[in-house]
Chain A
Amino acid sequence: MPDTEVRTDVVTGVPTDRRESRGAKRSPVDALPPASRRYGEIGDRSTKPRWGMAVDIERCVGCWSCAVICKSENDVPLGMWWNRILTRGDDLDRPGEGEHGHLEMEWVPLACQHCDDAPCEKVCPTGATYIDKERLVLVNQDDCIGCRYCMAACPYGVRVFNWGKPKYPVDGGTGMVGARPVGTVEKCTMCVHRIAEDQVPSCVWSCPANARVFGDLDDPDGRLVNLLRSRGATRLLEDKGTRPKVWYLQPRRRRPL
């Protein structure tokens, strides 16, 4: 992409070179060495993709890499997480759960489920939360009035609110998207700015256990759909009828700890 072209931030719509404190800079994806770039390429897709993700519970080791790179990639301020790793069978006073002497513990990486029938989108009074043409649930920060109705409506509790001036561990943040205004709601965008450059979301790219698979749910021969078909895949709170596009691949075998 030529440097003279005005690039706009996919999340905030602000031209990239006007982003505070970071100024004009080359796309980080452009800056990647070809091998890394190839590693993150999305690959096969249908003409009108419907992006989704599979998270393999069997492979997840609960290392929080995806949570940390998500914060870094998206400039998620201190005290907030778009992506976090929940632990089933873990509590302060309960190190595991299970029956007949077989303790079990597993991790549930949780971020926006990008529901096809998203409760948050339905209740937004201004339409700031919308479903884009590739079926991702996104927030247009310009239209968000901060009523937090979407947070009350989200069954997964993955939305976070900008309670005050954002603070970053590094001045100006580390991320690739602009800062969000105080008093607005934000959440996982499935790294829509990376998808625009044919790259998988950061959490997928960074997972050391290869537990995440990103792809087009409408591509019947794609790797994602094949995986969902061959493995028992479930969705969170299936009974709520939200039809998430994030699927969880259940472990095929259980080992006593």
Chain B
Amino acid sequence: MTSIAADPAVALRAEGPSTAWRAWVGVLGVALGLGAFCFAYQWANGLGVTGLSNTVTWGMYIISFMFLVGASAGGLIVVAGSELVGSERFASLNRLAVLVSGAAILTATGTILPDLGRPQMAWKMIVHPHWTSPLMWDMVVILVYLSIAAVDLWILTRPTVSGSALRRMAVITLPVAILVHSVTAWIFGLLVARPFWNTALLAPMFITSALVSGTALVVVIAHVVERTTGVRFGDEHTLGDLGKLIVWFIAVDAFLLGTEILTIYASRVPDHLDQLNVILWGRLAPVFWAEVALGVVVPFLILTRPALRARRAWLLTACSLAIVGVFFKRVNILLSSMFEPLVGLAPGIPGGRPGQAFRPDEIYIPTWVEWGILIGMAGFFFTVVTVGVRRIVLDRAAGAQTRARAAFSRYMRPSAQR
């Protein structure tokens, strides 16, 4: 089994200044510039330039945060899970997966900053932390998680990759990767004020969604890296096998969501039901039904068919839709609780800006500033991934060919080592 293309020249092709490469760097540059501009604009003018209000206090930034922490945890859970049991099936993808996880969690941390009213005061969290706040727990677990991803990446890029070291790391990585997303869920799930969040199922649901989006993201990025650099991850079945995993993740994710909805709908606790109705039939219904159709049904149907799964176009369609579906799910979870405050009597909650009246039926429409910052964040994520692929995935594959070849063959067969 060869994991990396034999010809270093092929692998290094991306380093030549081809038109596509220049265009990609240009796109990343524009995205980063736009994001920086929008962030500066928002910082100077206050969060009033966003579509947020006193009713919908959290929006696209927090949705992206949930999504990115999930995508990050999901990828690493699959990697650490296979490392833990000594499986070699996805070993060729380990570096890429750890890299994508690291990039996603870095970007997630980045999306928190523009959400703060006073980012310049963020150091107050370190100077006098208040430990009953799940936000503090999340900060700690994200820092631990980032360091673990760094150590993992370091081990994976040593000339001789030690299988036992990986397995020992996996013992730490797996619980922390699960914890990082659980704590993110508990930021929401522990609030008595938001019945739709306040369920013990929230953390498990976050984890299953994370597995869907994280694995799908690795498949999509692995495909793009293969196409642009000529590197091959595993054999022709490797990515399709990840698709097989996604089938199970989607199924469990849908099951948990269904259980939650049935519980609310059948027991009809008023506050809880109000918030559920927002996504079932209310203002968020289009997003919810799109989530079910595009994010669950279609990818499930595609990925359960071996013939379709083996074809790259179908595999990528299914994975991309699954990613979009999980993003929509985050939108629904966050906004449904925001749209229906517990004390919802007329005239409602004040909008917060001069000239704004009370908001009985709040609707949230992100402004160009929010989109700009999100594009900047996407640019940041792909910049880290691109640099990482060139420096970590490709360098080892081509630049240090002989060394890496030996390391890889040994790494690929950890059992043969002993």
Q: Tell which of A37-45, A83-91, A226-234, A245-253 binds the partner.
A: A83-91
Inter-subunit contact B47/A156 (CB<8 Å): no
Smallest CB gap from B135: residue in A: A125
In the complex, whether B46 has a CB less than 8 A from a CB of chain A is: yes
Inter-subunit contact A124/B133 (CB<8 Å): yes
Please give, as numbers and ranges, the residues of chain A lying within 8 Å of B258 by CB-CB distance. none
Q: Tell which of B13-21, B348-356, B384-392 binds the partner.
A: B348-356
> A161: which of B117, B124, B343 is its contact (CB, 8 Å)?
B117
In the complex, whether A184 has a CB less than 8 A from a CB of chain B is: yes
Inter-subunit contact A79/B351 (CB<8 Å): yes
Complex alpha-carbon distance, A155 and B353, angstroms: 22
- B interface: dominant SS: loop
Please give, as numbers and ranges, the residues of chain A lying within 8 Å of B338 by CB-CB distance. 152
Q: Tell which of B69-77, B186-194, B284-292 binds the partner.
A: B186-194
In the complex, whether A153 has a CB less than 8 A from a CB of chain B is: yes
Please give, as numbers and ranges, the residues of chain B lying within 8 Å of A123 by CB-CB distance. 132-135, 191
Please give, as numbers and ranges, the residues of chain B lying within 8 Å of A19 by CB-CB distance. none
Inter-subunit contact A81/B345 (CB<8 Å): no
Smallest CB gap from A184: residue in B: B117
Q: Tell which of A10-18, A142-150, A205-213 binds the partner.
A: A142-150
User: In the complex, what's the smallest C-beta–C-beta distance from B197 to chain A, in angstroms?
Assistant: 9
Please give, as numbers and ranges, the residues of chain B lying within 8 Å of A125 by CB-CB distance. 125, 129-130, 133, 135-136, 139
Complex alpha-carbon distance, A152 and B115, angstroms: 13
In the complex, whether B301 has a CB less than 8 A from a CB of chain A is: no
* Chain B contact patch, size range: 35 or more
Also in contact, A124 and B192, with CB within 8 A (given A157-B341, A237-B342): no
Inter-subunit contact B128/A126 (CB<8 Å): yes
User: In the complex, what's the smallest C-beta–C-beta distance from A180 to chain B, in angstroms?
Assistant: 11
> B343: which of A86, A90, A124, A185 is its contact (CB, 8 Å)?
A86
Q: Tell which of A27-35, A162-170, A190-198 binds the partner.
A: A162-170
Please give, as numbers and ranges, the residues of chain A lying within 8 Å of B346 by CB-CB distance. 86-87, 90-92
User: In the complex, what's the smallest C-beta–C-beta distance from A53 to chain B, in angstroms?
Assistant: 17
Complex alpha-carbon distance, A193 and B227, angstroms: 67
Complex alpha-carbon distance, A156 and B47, angstroms: 22
Inter-subunit contact B191/A153 (CB<8 Å): yes
Inter-subunit contact B343/A149 (CB<8 Å): no
Complex alpha-carbon distance, A145 and B118, angstroms: 5
Inter-subunit contact A240/B192 (CB<8 Å): yes
Complex alpha-carbon distance, A86 and B112, angstroms: 34
Complex alpha-carbon distance, A50 and B282, angstroms: 43
- A interface: dominant SS: loop
In the complex, whether B267 has a CB less than 8 A from a CB of chain A is: no
Inter-subunit contact A160/B117 (CB<8 Å): no
> B46: which of A90, A127, A163 is its contact (CB, 8 Å)?
A163
Please give, as numbers and ranges, the residues of chain B lying within 8 Å of A236 by CB-CB distance. 343
In the complex, whether A78 has a CB less than 8 A from a CB of chain B is: yes
Also in contact, A149 and B46, with CB within 8 A (given A157-B342, A157-B343): no
In the complex, whether B64 has a CB less than 8 A from a CB of chain A is: no
In the complex, per-residue mask of B327-357: 1 if CB is within 8 Å of any chain A CB, else 0: 0000000000010011101110111111110
In the complex, whether B402 has a CB less than 8 A from a CB of chain A is: no
Complex alpha-carbon distance, A144 and B133, angstroms: 14
In the complex, whether A151 has a CB less than 8 A from a CB of chain B is: yes
In the complex, whether A154 has a CB less than 8 A from a CB of chain B is: yes
Inter-subunit contact B354/A146 (CB<8 Å): no
* Residue among A87, A122, A236 facing the most chain B CB atoms (10 A cut-off): A122
Q: Which 8 A-B pairs have the closest CB atoms?
A: A146-B117, A183-B117, A164-B48, A163-B48, A86-B345, A155-B193, A164-B46, A127-B130
**Sample of 15 A–B contacts (CB below 8 Å):** A91-B360, A110-B343, A119-B191, A123-B132, A125-B136, A128-B124, A143-B121, A146-B118, A147-B112, A148-B58, A153-B192, A155-B192, A159-B54, A161-B54, A241-B192
6 more A-B contacts (CB under 8 A) besides A123-B135, A126-B129, A157-B349? Answer: A86-B345, A149-B133, A152-B193, A157-B342, A161-B47, A167-B354
